[in-house]
């Protein structure tokens, strides 16, 4: 096969480092999304404050109109001015409404991104679970192979001992046979 064989420890390290890298990337992206959301919240608060100021201005104008009822001509002039200002304020409010709508749309997009990230994380968790399951199966297979190897080694040792015994028994028989012949000759 060639090359370095990958051990279970190597595989576990690769899985752990891949998971840590994915987790770090997700946390970085999540931190960025949270920052964007905080920025949007700040903008919304600013817009709400502006609307409150505008409401205060409108209320002040209404108070002014009430005070000027005594002078009709001045009231008419002031009403013209107020109509003009109200028109500008309405235009501003419409612009603010458009901004708020855009921010709501951005928030929806961010929610979609977060949902997608959650889905990605879930998929990665599933992959990690599959890999862990594969590692457990491999460990089990390795244990079975080790046990089989031990049985084969014992069997080979028994076979070797039997072969050695038969060989020694044959030699003893041959030696006894030679010794028996020599005894006969020596007599």
Q: For the whole prediction, is pTM greater than 0.75?
A: no
Angle at 80 between CA 78 and CA 84, to 5 degrees: 115
The angle subtended at Cα 141 by Cα 140 and Cα 146, nearest 5°, is: 100
pLDDT at 174 over 90: no
What confidence score (pLDDT) does residue 1 get? 47
Any alpha helices (H) in the chain, and if so which ranges?
Answer: 8-67, 72-186
**Separation of alpha carbons 36 and 169, rounded Å:** 89
Q: Would you say residue 60 lies in a domain?
A: yes
What are the Cα distances from residue 144, in Å, to 118, 122, 135, 156?
39, 33, 14, 18
Structural domain boundaries, residue 120:
8-133
Integer Cα distance of 180 and 45 in angstroms: 117
Where residue 34 falls among pLDDT bands split at 50, 70, 90? very high
Whether 145 is covered by a domain: the verdict is no
Angstrom distances, CA of residue 159 to CA of 11, 129, 154, 169: 38, 45, 9, 15
In a domain, 183, yes or no: no
Number of domains comprising the chain: 1
The answer as to whether 150 is a domain residue is: no
For range 58-72, the mean pLDDT: 72
End-to-end CA distance of the chain: 69
Please report the pLDDT score of residue 184 as a whole number.
58
Residues 6+ apart with CB under 8 A from 75: 65, 68, 69
Query: If you average pLDDT over every residue of the chain, what do you get?
Result: 83
């Amino acid at each position: 096969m060639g090359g370095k064989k990958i051990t279970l420890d190597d595989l576990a390290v690769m899985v752990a480092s891949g998971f840590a890298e994915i987790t770090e990337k997700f946390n970085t992206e999540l931190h960025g999304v949270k920052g964007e959301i905080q920025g949007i919240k700040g903008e919304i608060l600013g817009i709400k404050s502006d609307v409150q100021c505008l409401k205060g201005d409108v209320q002040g104008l209404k108070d002014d109109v009430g005070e000027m009822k005594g002078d009709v001509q001045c009231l008419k002039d002031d009403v013209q001015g107020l109509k003009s200002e109200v028109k500008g304020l309405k235009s501003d409010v419409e612009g603010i409404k458009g901004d708020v709508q855009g921010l709501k749309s951005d928030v929806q997009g961010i929610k979609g991104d977060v949902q997608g990230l959650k889905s990605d994380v879930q998929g990665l968790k599933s992959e990690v679970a599959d890999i862990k399951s594969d590692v457990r199966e491999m460990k089990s297979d390795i244990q079975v192979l080790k046990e089989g190897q031990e049985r084969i080694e014992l069997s080979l040792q028994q076979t070797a001992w039997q072969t050695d015994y038969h060989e020694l028994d044959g030699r003893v028989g041959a030696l006894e046979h030679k010794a028996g012949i020599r005894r006969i000759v020596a007599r």
